[in-house]
Structure 1
Amino acid sequence: MTDSIYIRPIGLVPGPQSEHGNAIRLAGGMVYASRFAVVLRRDGKIAERWLASPDTMAEVLGGLPDEVGAEAEQQWANLTLAHPALELGSRTIRLDQPQVMGILNMTPDSFSDGGSNTDISAAREHAATMVEAGASIIDVGGESTRPGAKPVWEGDEIERVVPAIEACAAMGAAVSVDTRKAAVMEAALAAGASLINDVSGLTHDMRSAEVVAAASCPVVLMHAPGSGADLHEGGDYASVVFDVFDELRARRDAALEAGIAASRILLDPGIGFGKSLADNLALMNALPLFHALGHPLLLGVSRKRMIGAMSNEAEADARLGGSIALTTKGMDAGVQLHRVHDVRDTVQARNVWRGLRDAALTDFADLPG
């Protein structure tokens, strides 16, 4: 018999004063949580579920089975953990508010832009436009990860990404590289990248964890069910939310064992990777749960196929509205980094979202007490 525990925030509020202080600041950000579901899973099935608030959580945790008690206490502490800023080259990226990561595809077969930026001059111009529009990080990728895409030889991938990384670094941008290959990681870091974004969660290449640990750079571990060339294979879940949580925890633990510091690990639930529409929607609604793992979160929903599935099969370049809606949902859940194609529109949405959050902190200023 195997027990596992999960603490899922289910009641989010605009500020602690709306609950007379009986709320926590979720992951040190601009979102507050006042109600939580504590879920006990036994042999893959939900056995019990308790509701708690900050002032009753100690009582609920004290009544849990001994084998999950320490994990529950750690998750509760993680939910209030404020994450330090990312130091990416000369740039400091604060994680107490949502940040926008702009996508720079150097692939001729990208699902979203059809390779429109593969020329280095066009790539440089597009990157500069994203930085000017408010992107905190430029994420450079040289291999498409859409379903059915063919793998790219590491030498070709290096030739695609290194010039773009050098151009972005030269303009003072914080740069990440979207790759799952150790050789590409090494070349990208040498060219000026300071963050690794690995869609395989460091499982694709046996050397990748070693490279990240040696470089002491931050790394994003994304969930994808496929372990081989096709990241979308094997998406069979008993309960997608808890299964993805467990698998991300396992990949985090493997990274720690490889010598990667906990403070340098970010997590991504992998929306759209080996997941059905129902799976993706379930994960979007459960995003606050993933703060219980104790690491900053990245969300990549921009122009994803799930948007087309809910909007008469709109083409990728006609999914801005859905992209903004899903990204805002992520902001409501306290997600720190948002990987997007449409930087200017997303930054505008983020600024309005933040204005609403700032104003909410004074909504109850005139109440007694």
Structure 2
Amino acid sequence: VQRQHHQKVRAVKHALQMIADGATIIDIGGESTRPNASAVEVEEEMRRVIPVVEALSKYDVVMSIDTSQPEVIRAAVDAGAHIWNDVRALTRPLALETAAELNIPVVLMHMRGEPTNMNQLDQYQDVTEDVIQELQQRLDQALAVGIKVENIILDPGFGFAKNAQQNFQLLNEFWKLNRMGYPILSGLSRKRFIGEALNGIPAQERAVGSVMGHILSIQQGASIVRAHDVATT
């Protein structure tokens, strides 16, 4: 219990520092979605996420919840969260229906498979066109269950089931996503392909490369960028 309290305090302090540095949305997640990351039980995800949401709800902070679990987003919204950020684009059972019922903004991200196997699923004819086509399928399903057009944000999923070359193609052709007609989130901060382009530097040293990626995304129409190094960005 004491460890969880310390984790909560640390997370809240970090979030408030990000707000002070200029962040407008704080993204809170209780499950790692890095390549080969193992799944987290719903109860554990709740224990990690909900206390942080409750603590931050006392401040004027827009909170996005990085989860694929309908139970987690329900509890988070009850505690004061505002946006659902789902790397699995509402593919879990009852996720689509839950998003429609909650009537909150939702980020639909492109990924194939799961974090445990997505690196084997990076075969594309044309990565940008294929990502657009596959996102469109998720979008159509979202609209079909009654999720409102104005609640949808799309994310091409940099680093998810894409190799370095494909990530750079997607970044260079980011503007093509605009034809889908929805706000686009660019989440390339500290991603491995940024490090590979900079001679394999570790994640915490990728701030400058990440900022360059953010600039390229924004120039091509990104509405939101997801950043770790907020002050630098």
Q: TM-score range by the shorter chain?
A: over 0.9
Distance 2:128 2:164 in 1: 13
Q: Verify the 8 A CA contact 2:120 2:161 in the aligned structure 1.
A: yes
Partner AA of 2:60 in structure 1: G
CA shift at 1:118, angstroms?
6.8
Which residue does 2:215 correspond to in 1? 328
**CA 1:303–1:174 in structure 2 vs 1: closer, same or farther (change >3 Å)?**
same
Partner AA of 2:162 in structure 1: K
CA shift at 1:230, angstroms?
4.1
Deviation readout 1:2-27 (Å, 9 max, x if unpaired):
xxxxxxxxxxxxxxxxxxxxxxxxxx
Cα-Cα RMSD: 1.5
1:314 aligns with 2:230: no
Q: Verify the 8 A CA contact 1:138 1:168 in the aligned structure 2.
A: no
Aligned residue for 2:107, secondary structure, equals strand
Q: Verify the 8 A CA contact 1:221 1:267 in the aligned structure 2.
A: yes
Q: Verify the 8 A CA contact 1:226 1:235 in the aligned structure 2.
A: no
1:141 aligns with 2:141: no
Aligned residue for 1:343, secondary structure, equals coil
Deviation readout 1:305-328 (Å, 9 max, x if unpaired):
001111121011111111111011
Query: Which runs of 5 or more residues in structure 2 are unaligned?
Result: none
**CA 1:301–1:265 in structure 2 vs 1: closer, same or farther (change >3 Å)?**
same
Which of 139, 150, 156 matches 2:38? Answer: 150
Distance 1:318 1:227 in 2: 27
Deviation readout 1:116-140 (Å, 9 max, x if unpaired):
x971111111111111111110000
Which residue does 2:160 correspond to in 1? 273
Q: Verify the 8 A CA contact 2:38 2:115 in the aligned structure 1.
A: no
Distance 1:211 1:232 in 2: 29
CA shift at 1:183, angstroms?
1.0
Which of 116, 128, 150 matches 1:263? Answer: 150
**CA 1:118–1:206 in structure 2 vs 1: closer, same or farther (change >3 Å)?**
farther
Which of 105, 117, 126 matches 1:218? Answer: 105
Partner AA of 1:306 in structure 2: F
Which residue does 2:88 correspond to in 1? 200
Which residue does 1:119 correspond to in 2? 7
Higher Rg of the two aligned structures: 1
1:130 aligns with 2:44: no
CA shift at 1:187, angstroms?
1.2
**CA 1:202–1:118 in structure 2 vs 1: closer, same or farther (change >3 Å)?**
farther
Partner AA of 1:216 in structure 2: N
Which of 277, 281, 298 matches 2:185? Answer: 298
CA shift at 1:192, angstroms?
0.8
Distance 2:6 2:215 in 1: 29
Which of 69, 93, 103 matches 1:181? Answer: 69
After the TM superposition, which residues 228-267 of structure 1 pair with which residues of structure 2 at under 5 Å, given as runs?
230-267=117-154
CA shift at 1:229, angstroms?
5.8
Deviation readout 1:41-77 (Å, 9 max, x if unpaired):
xxxxxxxxxxxxxxxxxxxxxxxxxxxxxxxxxxxxx
Distance 1:334 1:236 in 2: 26
Which residue does 2:228 correspond to in 1? 341
Which one scores higher on RCO, CA 8 angstroms, separation ≥ 6?
A: 1
Q: TM-score if structure 1 supplies the norm length?
A: 0.60
Aligned residue for 1:266, secondary structure, equals strand
Deviation readout 1:193-215 (Å, 9 max, x if unpaired):
11000001111x11111111001
Higher helix share: 2
Distance 1:146 1:118 in 2: 24
Higher strand share: 1
Deviates more, 1:280-289 or 1:231-240: 231-240
Distance 2:221 2:27 in 1: 21
Q: Percent identity?
A: 40
**CA 1:313–1:169 in structure 2 vs 1: closer, same or farther (change >3 Å)?**
same
Distance 2:182 2:18 in 1: 26
Distance 1:167 1:328 in 2: 32
Partner AA of 1:212 in structure 2: A
Distance 1:282 1:224 in 2: 16
